[in-house]
Amino acid sequence: MLKKDKLQSFKGVLNTLIERHVLVLATEHPYLTRLCCSFQTNVRLCFAMVYVNGGDLAYHIACSGRFNKSRACFYAAEIVPALMFLHCNGIIHRDLKPSNILLDADGHCKIADFGLCKESILDGKTTNTFCSTPLYLAPEVLLGNEYGASVDWCCLAVIMYEMMVGYTLFVANKDWKLFESILQDAPGFPCFLSSEAVKIIKAFLVKCPAARLGCVASQGQEEAIKVHPFFNEIDWVLLEQRKITPPFKPQITSKRDANNFKKCFTH
């Protein structure tokens, strides 16, 4: 529910229309949260969406400590075609993070929260708006450079690191120190990470977006992600048909169960 008096500016209205458009478009993809209907009252705009009650990845990372490679690979693999679908439709998410990736009752991923999405990013078009959650900012956003879909792949790298290591890639007690670290520091990798995991995270974190995995024209751009050795065990055809059994199934006792979310969000 969105309060109308908070959306009086042109930008506020535009962002809401974009979010609704993406939610409607999401009905065409299995790994995106979708809109059932929308309506309004005198004071609010309301979006009614499918209830995805398996919890978010942030919650499950906190519960598990970290995921093994197979589980992290499965989640990352379901996120990849969802992002590719958005990008093919000229949409960049710009706020991909564990708390915006939900699990459904079967354990499949659903990307959520399209409030920072940007449309019409096609055929070389870019944007330069400074937005996203600080921990998941891409270097080009921090530098104020023009950017496109590259920012989403950088976010995915940070999520993959967090899933397999158990804590965030860049840590600092001040935003400016965090931003400095994102721009200048090379990430450290624990010895228990597989070489394939290290390589794909590094490839997604390349500072220059034109050389980042998923963005290099000579490598087939986003198709290069699917053939990376990290995803060798993934059958992409079966995955996009939701025919791969998830490695983890959330504990759900009823359709209204909210036990997979922090109490602060449900009470």
The residues annotated as belonging to the active site are 95
Query: What CA–CA distance (Å, rounded) separates 146 from 11?
Result: 19
E strands, 83-166, in order: 101-103, 109-111
E strands, the chain, in order: 2-3, 35-40, 44-49, 101-103, 109-111
Compute CA 62 distance to the chain's CA centroid, rounded to the nearest angstrom. 17
DSSP state letters, 147-179: B-THHHHHHHHHHHHHHHHSS-SS--SSHHHHH
Contact yes or no for 234/73 (Cβ under 8 A): yes
The three-class DSSP label of residue 142 is: helix
Contact yes or no for 103/54 (Cβ under 8 A): yes
- Which amino acid type is present at position 30? P
